[in-house]
Amino acid sequence: MKVLRTSVRDVIPLRAQMLRPGKPLLASHFQGDSDEQSFHLGAFVENKLVSVASFYFDKHPDIDEPYQYRLRGMATLPEFQHQGFSKELLKMAFPIIKQNQCKLLWCNARESAIGFYEKVGFIKLSEVFDIPEIGPHILMSKEIN
C-alpha cells in the first residue's frame, strides 16, 4: 500500500461512488478543491486507488482556534474498509497540516462514521444535525500536536 498526494481529478470518482451515489459528478466537486492550500491524499493498492481524503484551509465559525483545516471526502472502497487505509491517510495529513501552521482538523462526520473518527482521535463538538439529501452528521475535531 502506498499513500500519495494526488490530484482532485483522481479523487472525485471514488468520492462520487462512495459519498454521492446516484448524483451527477458535479455534486462531488467541493468548494475549495483547487485552492492552493487544499490537498488530496489517496491510498493505492497495486496502483488501484482504494481510499481518498481531502483537506481544506477552512475555519469553522463555531471553533475558536484561529487556523484550522477541514477534512472532507473521506472514503474507502467497501472491499478495502477496516484495513487501516483511512487511518494511514490521516497519518500522512497531520504533518502537512502542521507544516501549514494549523493545529486543528475538523469535519462534519456522518453519523455512521462517528465510531471511525473517534478511533482516530476526533471528539464530538455538536449535537446531531441534518445535511439535506445526505443525512445526519455531527461536528467533530482533532487537535494536531
Residues that bind ligand COA (CB under 6 A): 18-19, 51, 74-76, 81-87, 109-110, 112-113, 115-116, 119-120
Of 3 and 97, nearer to ligand COA (C-beta) is 3
- Residues sharing a CB contact under 8 Å with residue 87, sequence separation 6 or more, in sequence order: 119, 120
- 3-state SS, residue 119: helix
Picking from 107, 104, 103, 102, the residue whose alpha carbon sits closest to that of residue 126 is 107
Residues 51, 84: Cα–Cα separation, whole Å = 10
For 37, the grid coordinates are 492550500
Q: What's phi and psi for 13, nearest 5 deg? A: -60, -40
Tell me the closest approach of the beta carbon of residue 38 to ligand COA, in angstroms.
17
Give least dist CB 134 to ligand COA, A: 9
Which residue sits closest to ligand COA, CB atoms considered? 115
Query: Least distance in Å: CB of 101 to ligand COA?
Result: 25
Of 43 and 102, nearer to ligand COA (C-beta) is: 43
Nearer Cβ to ligand COA (2/66): 2
